[in-house]
Amino acid sequence: MTKVAIMTDSNSGISMEQAKEMGCFMLNMPIIIDQKTYIENEDIDTDFFYDSQSKDANVTSSQPSIASVMGMWDEILKEYDEIVYIPMTSALSGSCQSAIVFSEEYNGKVQVVDNHRISVTQMLSVQDALYLKDKGYDAKQIKEILEQEAYDASIYITVDTLKYLEKGGRITPSVALLGSMLKIKPVLTIQGEKLDTCAKARGMKSAFKTMIEHLKEDYETRFKEYAQKGELAVGLAYTQMSEEDVAKWAEKLHEEFPELPLYKAPLTMSIGCHIGPGGLGTGLIRIHKE
C-alpha cells in the first residue's frame, strides 16, 4: 500500500505537540517584524509578537521560502511515497498557489490541497486527510475529496480593534476612526474563495450574536443534512485574549450548538498581523466520521 504523509502549515492552529500526536508534518510560517524574519513555533512567541504590534512595529506575514517548502517535502519523501499538503486558503495568501507551482517538479508525489480553509477548519481538514489516509486513499484521491468538500465550511470573524484592518488597507482611515468612536465591529466571512464583510455590530457581544445568527441559518440550510448524520462540528478561533475570555466564548458557543463537537484553536500570528489581538472567529465544518 502507498505510504502517504499528511502535511500542513502553522495557520491551521495545530501546535507542534499536536502535530506529533496526530501524526502529521508541520511547516511553520514566517513573520517579519521591523524587517527581521521570525518563524512561528520556533523563535517567536505570541507575547513578543503582540507586544511588538502594540508598539507599532512594522509587523507583516510572509510566504514560506521555496527552500523551506521543498526541503521539507524532500525529507518526507525519504520515508513516504506521497505527500498531501494542506496550506492556508489561497484567498488569504499566495503561499498555496506557490506550493502548487513547486509541486509540479514532483511528478504527482506531492498533492497540494486548496480547500479554502484556515485555523480550525484547516485543522479539521488535516484530521479528515489522516482519516482518509488510514482508509487507504492515495494522495491524489485525498486531495480530490478535500477540494470537493471545500464549501462544506462556514467561517465568521470579528475584530476587537479596527486599527489593523486599516493598516492592511481593508478599510479607510475615516471608516476606522468613525467605527472606533461608535464601537463598530465588522463581521467578516469566508465562504469558499473570498473574505467579505457580511455585517456590522455595536460591540463584541453584539458581533458574537450576529455570528451565531448566521451560523444558525447555515445550520438549518446548507448543513442540515450533515448535522443529521453527525458529520458536523462547530469551531472557535481567537487571537490574543485571556483564558477566561476564551472559555466564556467557548461556553456560549456550546450553549448554542450543544449537540455538536466543539473545536477551538488560536488564530496564528499570520492572521494576527491583519486583525490584531482580541479577534474572534466561529465556524461550522463538515467532518468525516466512522
Q: Tell me: the pLDDT tens digits for 65-117?
A: 999 999 999 999 999 999 999 998 776 777 888 999 999 999 999 999 998 88
pLDDT at position 123:
92
Q: What is the layout of strands, in order, in the sheet containing 232-238? A: 195-202, 184-190, 153-158, 280-286, 232-238, 262-266
Q: What is the layout of strands, in order, in the sheet containing 82-86? A: 25-27, 4-9, 82-86, 110-112
φ, ψ of residue 223 to 5 degrees: the values are -110, 10
Q: Residue 61: what residue type? A: S
Residues 6+ apart with CB under 8 A from 82: 2, 3, 4, 5, 108, 109, 110, 111, 138, 139, 140
pLDDT at position 163:
76
pLDDT at position 193:
61
Alpha-carbon span 133 to 115, nearest angstrom: 17
Going from the first residue of the chain to its last (290 residues), give the mean pLDDT of each consecutive group of 10, the final group possibly shorter: 93 92 95 94 91 91 92 97 92 82 95 89 94 96 94 88 66 51 73 71 90 95 93 94 93 96 89 88 85
pLDDT at position 176:
46
SS3 category, 256: helix
CA angle 274, 30, 164 (to 5 degrees): 10
**How many helices (H) does the chain have, and how many strands (E)?**
12, 13
DSSP assignment of 40-64: BTTTB-HHHHHHHHHTT--EEE-PP
